[in-house]
């Protein structure tokens, strides 16, 4: 009798969970999940996304440059890391990976908000910046963007990835 009751309760719980999940739309579920989970990273791939993968915002990076403590919520004056994995670099090639750090849609008002590094091999890469003000943040990564190119259009030919986060 007890085993039958336990199976009935378990079945009821499964049914309630299924009804709850299927009873709301996916967009609402994802929005609720993003509000509750500090690690849900929202990225947007660009035309050069084939070179820049696994983009994450994090509170820290490990010794190899990979994201540690992924999050999308940061405090003012807290270091924000954008870590990614570069793939497809052939031996002897050199590429320029640039980042533009945005705050509320404009270049963040801090030194280093537009910077670049030289990439000579595939592997992890990380950038960091400290925001002095709260707001909606975004880091846009560009692959082989020409020096002096300040095009910030959504369809920029050099855009690899964009990742959004919040600074509180």
> Between 6 and 159, where is the model more confident?
159
The Cα–Cα gap between 157 and 132 comes to: 30
CB 131 within 8 A of CB 167: yes
- For the cut 70, the answer to whether the pLDDT of residue 125 exceeds it is yes
The whole domain housing 10 covers 1-36
For residues 93 and 139, state if they share a domain. Answer: yes
Q: Are residues 85 and 119 in the same domain?
A: yes
Tell whether 130 and 162 lie within a shared domain: yes
96 and 70, same structural domain?
yes
Res 40: pLDDT: 60
Same domain for 153 and 134: yes
pLDDT of the residue at 41: 66
User: Do residues 147 and 158 share a domain?
Assistant: yes
> What pLDDT, in 10s, does the model give residues 71-108?
999 999 999 999 999 999 999 999 999 999 999 999 99
- The torsion angle over the Cα atoms of residues 85, 59, 81 and 129, rounded to 10 degrees, is -170
Query: Exposure string (b/e) for 9-47, b if CB count within 10 Å is 16 or more?
Result: eeeeeeeeeeeeeeeeeeeeeeeeeeeeebeebebeebe
Q: How many domains does the chain have?
A: 2
């Amino acid at each position: 009798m007890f085993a039958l009751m336990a199976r009935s309760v378990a079945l009821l719980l499964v049914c309630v969970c299924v009804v709850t999940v299927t009873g709301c739309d996916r967009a609402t579920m994802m929005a609720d999940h993003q509000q509750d989970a500090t690690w849900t990273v929202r990225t947007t791939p660009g035309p050069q996304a084939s070179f820049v993968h696994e983009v994450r915002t994090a509170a820290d990076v490990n010794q190899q440059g990979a994201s540690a403590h992924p999050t999308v919520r940061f405090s003012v004056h807290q270091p924000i890391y954008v870590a990614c994995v570069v793939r497809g670099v052939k031996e002897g090639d050199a590429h320029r990976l640039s980042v533009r750090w945005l705050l509320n849609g404009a270049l963040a008002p801090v030194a280093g908000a537009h910077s670049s590094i030289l990439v000579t091999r595939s592997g992890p890469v990380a950038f960091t910046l400290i925001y002095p003000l709260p707001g909606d943040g975004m880091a846009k990564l560009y692959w082989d963007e020409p020096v002096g190119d300040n095009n910030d259009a959504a369809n920029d030919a050099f855009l690899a990835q964009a990742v959004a986060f919040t600074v509180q």
